[in-house]
């Protein structure tokens, strides 16, 4: 609707974007966050605008600070290796007052990154080749962070607790809610 487009434009304009906004459209499936592509005029980059799900991420500012630290580290590595940081690292765009996210009147948190053109995001691997490429991407990400030493805020309690994850795994297998365990 036009009201929603105007509201999204008002939110996007809180960020230090280059160029005039020409359109804002929904992008992707939106399993966790609501994602929009913000198109701009001429040679200015396009952007990704996301409403962060505060039910899943209760401390969005801390999460965005974590993302900033990690992406800046990766950006430095990409530059050192002679790569293209605008294609190989996410670029967080701050608000006009330097914040990494914007809180609207309804208490919703929004963040912007530079859109990386000619890329595809997959929600699942439909082939072994796609699964392999996903694994390679995860491996590269892990390697890029091997020398990362900055402290990160815990934004989802217990998310990285591997013991807890194994307990969850065992419970899920015992439940077998989808009836797929016999296929394992």
pLDDT in tens, 33-81: 899 999 999 889 999 999 999 888 889 999 999 999 999 999 999 999 9
- Domain of 147, CATH number, reads 3.30.200.20
CA distance 71 to 86: 11
Domain count, the chain: 1
Residue 35: CA atoms inside 13 Å, Cβ hemisphere, count? 13
| CA 87 to the chain's CA centroid | 15
* Domain, as residue range, for 97: 2-183
* Summary mean pLDDT of the chain: 92
């Amino acid at each position: 609707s036009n009201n929603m487009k105007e509201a999204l434009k008002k939110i996007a304009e809180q960020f230090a974007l280059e160029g005039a906004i020409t359109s804002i459209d929904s992008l992707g499936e939106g399993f966790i966050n609501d994602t929009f592509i913000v198109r701009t005029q001429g040679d200015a980059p396009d952007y990704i605008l996301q409403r962060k799900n505060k039910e899943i991420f209760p401390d969005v500012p801390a999460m965005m600070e974590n993302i900033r630290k990690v992406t800046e580290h990766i950006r430095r590595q990409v530059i050192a290796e002679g790569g293209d940081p605008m294609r190989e690292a996410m670029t967080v765009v701050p608000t006009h007052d330097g914040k990494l996210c914007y809180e609207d009147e309804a208490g919703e948190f929004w963040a912007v990154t530079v859109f990386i053109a000619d890329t595809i995001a997959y929600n699942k691997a439909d082939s072994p080749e796609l699964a392999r490429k996903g694994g390679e991407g995860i491996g590269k990400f892990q390697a890029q962070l091997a020398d990362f030493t900055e402290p990160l805020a815990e934004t989802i309690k217990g998310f990285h607790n591997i013991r807890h994850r194994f307990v969850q795994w065992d419970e899920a297998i015992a439940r077998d809610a989808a009836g797929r365990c016999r296929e394992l």
